[in-house]
Structure 1
Amino acid sequence: MEVDSNGGDNPSVNEGEQVEEPKKVNLEHNHDLIPTDSRHFAMNKKIRTPVKKRLEINDQAGIGVSRNYHSMVVEAGGYESLTFDERDAKNYINRARKLRLGEGDAKSLQSYFMRMQAHSEKFLYGIDVDEEFRIRNLFWADVRSRAMYESFGDVVSFDTTYLTNKYDMPFAPFVGVNHHGQFIFLGYGLLSSEDTDTFVWLFKSWLNCMSNNSPKAIITDQCRAMQNAIEIVFPQARHRWCLWHVMKKIPEKLKGYAQYEPIKLAMQNVVYDCLTRDEFEEKWEEMLTKFNFYDNEWLGVLYHERHRWVLVYVKVIFWAGMSTTQRSESMNAFFDEYVNPKTTLKQFVEQYDNALRSKVEEEKKSDFKSRHKLFDCLTIYGFEKQFQQAYTNTKFKEV
């Protein structure tokens, strides 16, 4: 037994045990205070209403979160002058993103969905809402779209570019091609943003609607978020960039060069006139050397992703005869008959049935012509007669 400092026995301590030193509390600060650190504490973080509005406007204008936040930093005179950081800005923007519905839009959508489901239980739709139950994204597929996908779902085109400028809100149709070479709708989406998470939600909703039967090939524009979502939801599908969208960017990316006209001609020759991969590689290298394009970032990305858009690389895959240029132009021409820059979403939904009936009537007319107004054979060979009887007029002309 040990003896305490006062000479008395200490019964609470056994032999061999160490005595713990008494704990002390120092009420004095033993480190320097850093006032600027206070803005990092959650209790001090706040995004004021005018700043929230600016963040939303910049986001709607397509300005990324980093640039959006940095503009606030510059305007405030430095990071220390802000009461929030980039993560806070990103979280707020994600919460604020929702479909920009006008007066009567939500009611029109609800009425349309209820009417279609009452007509057929095979009409499916999905609604994605935020934490405050505001509509963020929509998806729907009618009976005809689901039926057409069973026959013509091998190749799908997905495009969000048409209505973006008109409504500041992407209308995202899934488009295929039927046996007449006419484009057909295979599902539809209305989106509040164009990020990876949004596309993943839409693609999964559409895939579930189509009995999880993934397309073999899909055509889109050069959207990185879209590409990420395709790799997640359709990992086995061959992904191709729309050639029309790629070539449309030539003026934007190369117009500043003094030799723009020869450059544009060289680019077109390389893309359209090469018959083999080796020939493309040779002509591409010649173009880079002639115009000193080795430091051009845009061309570097195109070359790295050449398997997604160059004709000699994609021609080995079945694309259902889908022409990307014709697809984009015909889609625009079709919608121009039903909407204009002042059309509201409510009006668009009301016009939607008219547009669908127009597509159905177009196909019925083509079916009739293929049955009763056959194109004449050009030869005496029997196999041409077989083609004439087996194919629609459009496909027979192609053969």
Structure 2
Amino acid sequence: MYVRQKTFTVTDCKAHVGVSFCRETCNFILSKFVEDHNHCLVDTFNRDLTKISRKLSFSTKKFIHQMSLNRVGPTVAHRLLVSIKGGHHNVRGTPIDFKNFYNGMRIFIGDRDSQLVIDWLKDCYECCPEFFFDFTVGNGKLRSIFWADEISKLNYKAFGHILAFDATYQTNRYKMIFVPFTGVDHHKKCVTFGAALISSETIDSYKWLIQSFLNCHGQQPKLVLSDQDPSMRQALVQVSGDVIENTNVSSRIHRLVWNMFITPDTFESRWHYLIQKFGLQDNEWLNDMFEIRDR
């Protein structure tokens, strides 16, 4: 008969703490304390090897993941973290723990992927209370998710008067649609206000998504820009090919459309002037875009 070898010994230690609850003060009272152990305690230098100390923290998991993105394996990642923190006793987990997490991270599939995402978001919230996330589940599957960190909130507070979101990106594994919420700062650089994954482009999905965005930031933008069909992106370049090639109509339309310092009336008068100047009155796409300008 095979007897499994154990790495620990049960000594029936009687050391314990007793706590009672006082209803009058609604406080807990220390009622008993037995300090004497019948075994040796773990040396301070080896406490990083105890079960509780080997539980990897969120920052450690993130470090392993970032190293994997740079093709650095778990063993080397452990050595690097030990060197950075100045010793094994300052690092949670052993090389084996690093390997186990690394392998588990690579084999997550199906419903477990969803749980991994939710756990990651919860860890982010625990590390940063300003982190916001929301999600919906249907038939046991993750249907939609929205998240925004502290920087995204600050970006929206400073530059959220104009919001753009684009739902044309699709993941290649679970067919969920990636929706980034972006804006432009005073350096004319793109900044992020949040991001989402949705399983379908339905009215209910977008209603939930917009409501989650408002719950996160607490105020509506003054102007929302939403992208049209992906093929529309190339439409402006193809507007009256000869006109585009021989004039600067494309750049002039861009400067007009993205000018946030003019009133609607000024925009419309300049738009009509450009259309007439370059003879684009019959261009179907430009007319369609002008008709839905209020969106």
Question: Taking structure 2 as the reference length, what is the TM-score of the superposition?
Answer: 0.48
**RCO greater where, 1 or 2, for CA within 8 Å and sep 6 or more?**
1
The answer to which structure has the higher helix fraction is 1
Question: Taking structure 1 as the reference length, what is the TM-score of the superposition?
Answer: 0.37
The answer to which structure has the higher strand fraction is 2
